[in-house]
Every structure is written in C-alpha cells, then in structure tokens.
Structure 1
Amino acid sequence: MTALLTIHNLQKKFHQRQLLNIKNLAIAAAQAYVLTGANGSGKSTLMRILAGLESADAGEVKFNNEAVNLSPYPRTMRDAIVYVHQHPVMFSTSVADNIAYGLTVRGVAKNIVAEKVEEAIEWAGIVHLRKSIPAFLSGGEKQRVALARARVLSPKLLLLDEPTANLDGAAREQVIALIPTLVGEGSSVIMACHDRDLIALPGVQRLKIRDGTLEVKEINLHH
C-alpha cells in the first residue's frame, strides 16, 4: 500500500499529563480507518492534530512522500486534509452555497463550482434539499451536506469525528453508505467512532487508542 501520511513519535501533553505517545502512525492512500477508544482516550485530540487544529510534537513526518513538520502546520496538508465535525457548522444561506463554500474560497471558477456542487448533491442524495435553509435540516441531512462539502474539495485525507453518533435508522445507513464511495474515489478516511456498523465495513482498518498509545487491528475483509 502507498503511504499517504506517516508520523513517528507523536507526543501530546496536556498540562503535565501525557495524553498521546504514538510511536508510529501510518495512513495508506485510499484506505478507510476507524479510530476507537474509551471516552477521553484522545481520539478527538488526534483528529484535531491531524487537521492542524491542535499542536503536537513529532519526530519524522511525511505527507505524500514529502518530509514536513507538523508545526507550523504545512500548507500541503492544509490543502489536502478536510475535517468534518460531529456537529457540522452550516452557514444560513442555502445547502448549495454551503457545499460550494470551500471551492469559492479557493478561487475556483464559478462554472466548475456549479458543476462540482451539482455532482456532490446527487452523490449525497440531497437533490430535494438544494435550496433549503440549513437551520431546518435534520442531523442526518446536515451530515450528508457536510460530507458533500468535503467531497467537492477532493481531499486526500478526510477526518470524520463521530459521523453517525446522533443519527438513527435510515439517516445512519445513508451516511454509512457514502463512506466506501469516498475511498473508491481515492480519499483516505479516518472515522473516530463507536459505531459497530462503521467498524464492520469491509476493507476498514481499525486503530485503537489505549493509554495514549495506538494499536493497529486487522483489516475487515468482509462482514
């Protein structure tokens, strides 16, 4: 497997407490991972470090075969890594505008933005919500809008914090069904979660944080 991101000796202290002490973290290109661990084990902290939202000390770091430092957070990672919060923040415009936001900020031409947004709306199954005001969306609908907003940026690494935590029934299944398609398009995906159905998805590698260290489990070959 081609390595997308490798980090050696990742250290994170909180006051005097050692929160993370990870010898090796290796994320392969176009691979899905679930990150599990007890509450307070450091899952969200690790995700925030990978997203550049929190600082940490590290030895050798390579991203896309290029040696980088984690601090200050490198531009190459900022452009290629997208973080989706458990409770995605939505602008009070429309669903389509929310999905277009990242592309617009990057200065992408309007006709390309429109094309990519339309494709993402279809992909996420939210065509009927195109003109809806995000404040009135359900939790599952917001999560699908957030995934569409991330997908249009073609991330090399997508970080999902508890993507199904507040969803039930059909909403949960709809979000779970989108994950393999992201990997199929070439994105690596790391999901911090406790959801057994996400953990059991075929081809998913399990990473478990215990006492600040990382354990790598077997890849699921099938259900």
Structure 2
Amino acid sequence: MLAVDGIRKSFGTRCILDVSRLELAAGESYVLTGENGSGKTTLLRVLAGLESAAVEACEFDGRPVDLEGYPGWLRRELIYVHQHPYLFRGSIVDNILYGLKARGLPKSISEPLIREAISWAGVSELLNVPPHKLSGGEKQRVALARARVLNPRLFLLDEPTANLDSEARQQVMSLIRDLCDANNTVVLACHDREIIKLPHMHRLHMEKGTIRTRNGETAGE
C-alpha cells in the first residue's frame, strides 16, 4: 500500500529521523516501539503530512506521492489520531460529523454512518456531555469514531492507550482490536505490551530515529 524511501529529518545537528525504507502492506497492522524520543511520533506525523521531512521517494498503491506537497487525495486515504485528541466545541455528534460534513456528504448518507460510529465506539451515553468534560479514554473513543467514520485506508494512532486507567484502556483496546481484525491498515506508536502482543501485529522497533528491528530481526538500515 505505502512505500517510503529515505525519510530524514534533523533539528540542527541532531538527527530525528533516518529511515531508509518503510513499507506498509494493505490490511496489515504495525506497532512502532522504542523509547520516548526515538522518533515514533515524528514518523507518524510525517506520514500524515503534519510535519515536513526530506523524502527520497514515496508511493501509495504504486502511485508516486510528493509528501512535501501532500496531495489532498492522500489526506482522504489516511488519518492520524493524536495521543491527546482535540475535540471541537459543540456536541460529540458535531465532532464525529465534522469530517463527513467537510466532504459534503448529505444527511441521508452521513446520519446512519454517525449512528453506527457512536454505537461502535460505545459513546451513546456520552452524547449530552460537553467534550471538554470527557475523560482521556472517552475522548480517545470519540476520536477513534471520528476517524473510523471517514473510512480511511490507513490509520495512524499515536499512543492511544497511554495514561489511561485499566477500564478505559480495555475499552480503547477493544476498538483497536476491531480495527485490526477488520483488515484495516493500522500503524500504532506505543509502549503497551498488550498491543504489541496482538496476533499478526508487525513490530517495528525504533532507536534514535532509525528502524533497528522488524519483528525482532535486524532491519538492514
């Protein structure tokens, strides 16, 4: 699905990213591991077009992509969910509807999609709660629903279970499992051992901006 060669980013003399090749196959799930500052979040943000980096070549489904220009069609193919999701003012429904509304979908199409997303994320009981009063886990579930309703082909999730209590973590874990089991392409940055051990999860371990191992084997950077 996605193949990127020569991803490099520096701040002054400090190398932040130096990934010779990243290849993501359609329908597969990947977890980026590594210490804080190893480059996991930066890599996700570069792929999402939220940060710039020098890139030698990039293809999506065999179609050349200029990540520096970041074409609009690619933004519709993938979505990034922040560790601390930002929810807009208004209702939870407004938040989940936002992307569909931006795409100009009529209510006859968007309303059933919204209902299904609310049910999937288990947030029906929260619809009357102002977004700023939601807990971290509740915000994460709303953000995942907002992402899923757009039906992207690639999910980029940054530390989705970090700093959550046990119950909230299990609720978010259930949604992540569902995304992976539904043959979506999912890339997560995390330290969560339960996510790392999910069946069919490919592990990419990062050190100092470089992917050092893939599923425990030297990556050949």
* TM tier relative to shorter chain: over 0.9
Aligned AA (1:13): S
Find the counterpart in structure 2 of residue 149 from structure 1.
146
Q: Is the 8 A contact 1:35 1:43 kept in 2?
A: yes
Q: Which residue of 2 aligns with 1:88?
A: 85
2:4 and 2:59 in contact (8 A); partners too: yes
Trace 1:98-177 onto structure 2 (pairs within 5 A).
Answer: 98-177=95-174
- Give me the whole-angstrom Cα distance separating, in 2, the residues matched to 1:33 and 1:134: 30
Aligned pair count reads: 216
- Residues 37-52 of structure 1: pairs in structure 2 closer than 5 A: 37-52=34-49
Measure the CA separation in 2 of the matches of 1:176 and 1:204.
Answer: 14
Amino acid at match of 2:48: A
SS of 2:56's partner is coil
User: Which deviates the most, 158-167 or 72-81?
Assistant: 72-81
Indicate if the aligned counterparts of 1:11 and 1:22 stay in contact, CA closer than 8 A. yes
How far residue 185 of structure 1 moved from its aligned partner, in angstroms, is 3.2
Residues 96-148 of structure 1: CA deviation (Å, up to 9, x unaligned): 11111111011111121111110011111111112321112111111100000
Large movers: runs of 4+ above 6 Å: none
Unpaired runs of 5+ in structure 2? 217-221
Residues 32-69 of structure 1: CA distance to partner in whole angstroms, max 9, x if unpaired? 11111111111111111011011111122111221111
Secondary structure of 1:59's aligned partner: strand
* SS of equivalent residue, structure 2 residue 51: coil
Q: Give percent identity, aligned residues only.
A: 50
Residue in 2 that maps onto 1:202: 199
Deviation at 1:70, TM superposition (A): 1.2
Distance 2:165 2:186 in 1: 22
TM-score with structure 2 setting the length: 0.93
Instruction: Mark the runs of 5 or more structure 1 residues left unpaired by the alignment.
Output: none
Q: Deviations over 1:166-186 (max 9, x none)?
A: 211111011011112213334
Measured on the aligned residues, the alpha-carbon RMSD in Å equals 1.4
Q: Which amino acid aligns with 2:104?
A: G
CA contact (8 A) 2:39 2:210 kept: no
Q: Which residue does 1:8 correspond to in 2?
A: 5
